[in-house]
Structure 1
């Protein structure tokens, strides 16, 4: 069944059209990835689907009662309240009423008039079913329902945004760079969740591992045109290369024919007297066709400037220890880094990856242990916070200290020409730095980084916001670089392609060392200890059963078996009491407000008993083996 269809959609903001008569459709259950270079209009296309942007021409056909929800790329600054309230806000006006109802129950239960109004409205609009659904979403996403949204980490905030989108029960979910700025655990969690989700998905990503795991079809936006590529990412890469090759051959033939016609029209006066007017007309048409041709966006062409070789030893650490506020960040860590090593650093956000880099480079003194650094080290550092960029200056002044020329490969090059290698047009190079997009900032930082000779590169999250073509080039450069590379990244494919060793934060200040990249670490790492941090499902939520791994199923005692057999009847009885009290409460708000307060208290106690019964049922079922 077709959920959404775009037909001949066109949109321009001056200059060439951003979308040029594009058409596509999404079927129920599809997981479609939208690819394209930075600035091609991918996020704009999502805004067209949500209605936040209007097209100049064309139509969007939606299935009847289609529900569309979006997880935006950036966290909306206006979001506030508890986690549960933010999730509920995704369900529109009814979700806002539910949030207000729960807020009053907790903070101002004496406002019986307003509580009564909300109770009546929720009864009339089937609000309690939504209430149960929100509890289920919060439980499945393993979110702390009563924690203020503002107090969460960036990764948890993005998980709340996903819950907010799911609260609307969307038929189509839109995701714009869902893995940006998440650590590996958070990326794996969202990836696994979406792989099991039954709705349709349209997402934008530069995370190649995420793309390979989820996409069942790929849409490519290129020079205003949209093409569909069934199958996986590797199939898309192969067929896209074939298409670009065929396009280049076709254009070469066209250009040759045009040159022949131009030569013919410029023949002497005698030839012009006898020329074929139809041929002249075709020449004018060919000229128009050539003028309207949109060239493929160029690829960055940067290179690393090798400095003089460093000494064989880059750094040797023995039993390094460092703690912050009494909490160990690095404990008893030892390693040796030699010239030419390419090492990745992996760990959750906030684990101390940047601290470890500073310790290894001698920029931070360990509290115990020793560090020996090598000779003739020339360091270039890519900072994920982009702090090396002066926002007040034009783009070009952030290169080479504002000088007009840079030394590249032993040759003198004008800074504007140098920036063109990083896809900055002269106009863009003169723009203030603060107007740049995330991808442009990353390219500018790379331009700044590679404008100086180095034999030691430190890259702290270099892949955020880079398009895939630039990522591929950066990988090739690092592989060919004769110096030493230390890289912090959550991009699994990037780590697999570039590094030979990984240092992994494993908790309590322990840093493990493994040969290979990310996938190699997965195979070698110790088996994780399974714990459940998820809050128990509430009364109306369907219980989630977790089955232990084979060979680890504890046997139930006779008493526990009887308890498990009795639990369904107990839960049914509690739910019946809950429903009865809910109906009674609606009447008491108007007839006996004082009794309504005590009844509400009993109802809250019932909900707690139900939650405890569901949790016990889940535990016993899991122990039995499901």
Structure 2
């Protein structure tokens, strides 16, 4: 039975029709992801379904007594109300504190925020989390969310996906986060040219189905099919969690990608990058950094040594406030380390996209703003004009002659990114580049970055984009180090979960009475120098484990030196394909060995409570 029905609904803003004679329904328990270009009508569709907007024509029918929870992009919180009043309403403390579901929502969305804080004093991200928690705490027949992942980090997004998948409510969600779409949706609606095209399955199934329809109808232009084939190839090669099983036949779609090469020619890109950058890009040597300046604010790096090499494509991840943007600013030389040294290569030509929008002349035209940097740029093997790149990033036709002052925030961000690329950098640092970009524009940006030779350092909470354009992930886990994650985002989430569980166990152990004065090897738990017991370990066992831990640390140092030497050798052998292939194979062996040693080290550190 449908909870909501739309019958021949049409709606327009000004002369532009956003919905044209649309008929559809939302069934009980159905989970629908809505995709489409910015300004294409996704938010309008959601508002019409929720009853927030009355359509120009047609009929919207809700089941009698239907309870709808609607999260819009607009902030509607009362600035004078406290977080406690907004989220918990009139619930008594013993009532909500004893409800596991409520506690889970508070922990994952409200976190350390004071419940007595007034909404008017909160940041934009805190207000968004509060509004989301307010909605999720209540029971609804239908939940409708417009960009719910805004201001959430990777960890919170993963929790939200699991939470929504576990609810019985029907769900309609508008988001550009493709990983999130795949995780929560069982059907996909695409809003395009006033129509709503319906597909079975999440984002992966939608991409396959769309390619299948295009192949049968032979209606898609060749370049768009090339992009679609590349996207499908990535989906089929990606992690198992992304390979959702569509309900339609995919053999024909498989034929499209039979001979599709990998998204990036890694060896060739490395050769170009090494030629442009030389051996040294960025070397951190015993660097200590606090987010608020020397010895103030949270610790970001603590005597950290790390090397960013030519051709590295690194995704930097961590919770909000962990210092990701601070690391980018350190590399960009806009802030200085507390101690230690940052060595920058002499040939580094940096382009840095921060979260703040750069000032642009509001009187200039879009095309003029790009051409003042450069009219042509080489990306990979192809030369692109400013106009061609503008078209690829969504500025088609007359949009290139818009006045900058009339652009939206998302359009300004795209323009800022394009100006950086036109400056022909060999090092690119991007801080949340996907903000306000729709899926089609993200596909174009990913394809553009596939052919870009240089060192890329990316900060993003868009998990799909992060995994798509980078080759390895590095995390800030709050220990003052940069930690390589061979298992990518999945490993990051596992280590974060393990760290949270360990902190809880240690906190519980610290609350227990500590026995002192026991002889070595005696019963009970030994006492460390800070007076905290290590449950289950005798003093002798602890000494043996610490010896093994030190041995593994020395081994990691040696493997790190081997890795650095191999990177340098690959840079020198950039023109010798045979030697480069041999060095690459040796590097993979070293990295695999390093992963094993790191895993063993983590297991021991966990046992010791370090």
Residue of structure 1 equivalent to 2:280: 313
> Which residue is 1:358 aligned to?
329
Q: Which has the higher contact order (CA 8 A, sep 6+)?
A: 1
Query: Who is 2:103 aligned against?
Result: 139
**Contact kept in structure 2, 1:218 and 1:231, CA below 8 Å:** yes
Distance 1:148 1:51, change over 3 A: same
* 8 Å Cα contact 1:134-1:167 kept in structure 2: no
CA distance in 1, matches of 2:47, 2:356: 28
Deviation at 1:133, TM superposition (A): 7.2
Indicate whether 1:243 and 2:213 are aligned: yes
Distance 1:156 1:3, change over 3 A: same
Offset of 1:168 from its aligned partner?
5.5
Shift of 1:448: 1.5
Task: Give the distance between the partners of 1:130 and 1:359, measured in 2 at CA.
Answer: 45
Where does 1:185-334 land on structure 2 (aligned, <5 Å)?
185-249=155-219, 309-323=276-290, 324=292, 325=296, 327-334=298-305
Post-superposition Cα deviations, 1:322-363, rounded to whole Å, max 9, x if no partner, equal 123253222111111111111111112222112112223444
Alignment deviations for residues 164-208 of structure 1 (CA, whole Å, 9 cap, x no partner): 224553211111111123211221222222122221110011111
CA distance in 1, matches of 2:156, 2:36: 25
Task: Choose the corresponding residue for 2:419, options 434, 448, 460.
Answer: 448
Q: How far did residue 75 of structure 1 move?
A: 3.4
Query: Aligned equivalents of 1:199 and 1:173: distance in 2?
Result: 7
After TM superposition, list the pairs within 5 Å mapping 1:89-168 onto structure 2. 139-142=103-106, 143=110, 144-152=114-122, 154-166=124-136
1:210-248 Cα offsets, whole Å, 9 max, x none, are: 111110111111211112212233222111112123344
Change in 2 beyond 3 A, CA 1:237/1:20 = same
Q: Structure 1 residues 251 and 408 mapped into 2: Cα distance closer, same or farther (>3 Å)?
A: closer
Match of 2:500 in 1: 529
Aligned twin of 1:409: 378
The answer on 1:20 being equivalent to 2:20 is: yes
Cα distance in 1 for partners of 2:347, 2:396 equals 36
Counterpart-to-counterpart distance in 2, 1:134 and 1:431 = 54
The count of aligned residue pairs is 443
Q: Distance in 1 between matches of 2:51 and 2:93?
A: 24
Quick one: structure 1 residues 388 and 187, their matched pair in 2 at CA, closer, same or farther if it must change by over 3 Å?
A: farther
The whole-number CA distance in structure 2 between the counterparts of 1:455 and 1:516 is 27
- Tell me how far 1:415 sits from its aligned partner: 5.5
Secondary structure, aligned partner of 1:9: strand
Aligned to 1:464: 435
Match of 2:583 in 1: none
Question: CA offset at residue 472 of structure 1?
Answer: 2.4
State the partner residue of 1:35: 35
Query: Deviation of residue 429 (structure 1)?
Result: 3.4
What SS class does the counterpart of residue 178 from structure 1 fall into?
coil
Distance 2:286 2:430 in 1: 24
CA deviation string 1:51-96 (max 9, x = no partner): 33221221111100112121122434754421122236xxxxxx6x
Instruction: Tell me, yes or no, if the aligned pair for 2:348 and 2:427 is still in contact at 8 Å.
Output: yes
Change (3 A) 1:413 1:338: closer
SS in 1 for 2:54: coil
Whole-Å separation in 2 of the counterparts to 1:523 and 1:22: 43
The 10-residue stretch of structure 1 (71-80 or 48-57) with the greater mean CA deviation from structure 2: 71-80
Considering only aligned residues, what root-mean-square deviation do their CA atoms show, in Å? 3.4
Gaps of 5+ in 2: 223-268, 506-534, 536-610
* Runs of 5+ consecutive residues of structure 1 not aligned to the other structure: 89-94, 99-127, 253-303, 534-553, 555-626
Query: 1:178 is matched with which residue?
Result: 148
Aligned to 1:349: 320
State the distance in 2 between where 1:225 and 1:129 align. 47
**Normalised TM-score (structure 1):** 0.64
Q: State the secondary structure of the residue aligned to 2:6.
A: strand
TM-score, normalised relative to structure 2: 0.65
What is the CA–CA distance in structure 1 between the aligned matches of 2:368 and 2:304, rounded to whole Å? 41
Correspondence list, 1:503-514, <5 A? 503-514=474-485
In structure 2, the residue matched to 1:63 is 63
Shift, 1:15, TM fit: 4.1
**2: CA distance, partners of 1:251 / 1:502:** 35
Corresponding position of 2:309: 338
CA contact (8 A) 1:154 1:182 kept: no
Find the aligned partners of 1:233 and 1:35 in 2 and give their Cα distance.
Answer: 9
Contact (CA 8 Å) 2:365, 2:401: kept in 1 or not? yes
CA–CA separation in structure 2 for the residues paired with 1:512 and 1:469: 32
Which SS does the other structure have where 1:52 is aligned? coil
Cα distance change on mapping 1:391 and 1:244 into 2, 3 Å: same
- Range 337-346 or range 411-420, more displaced: 411-420
**Structure 1's 366 and 130: CA in aligned 2 closer, same or farther, altered over 3 A?**
closer
From the superposition, tell whether residues 392 and 508 of structure 1 become closer, same or farther in structure 2 (CA, over 3 Å). Answer: farther
- 1:418-457 equivalent positions in 2, closer than 5 A: 419-457=390-428
Quote the Cα distance in structure 1 between the aligned partners of 2:46 and 2:446.
Answer: 30
- Contact kept in structure 1, 2:378 and 2:384, CA below 8 Å: no
C-alpha separation between the residues in 2 aligned to 1:33 and 1:442?
Answer: 25
Aligned 8 A contact 1:133 1:167 in 2: no
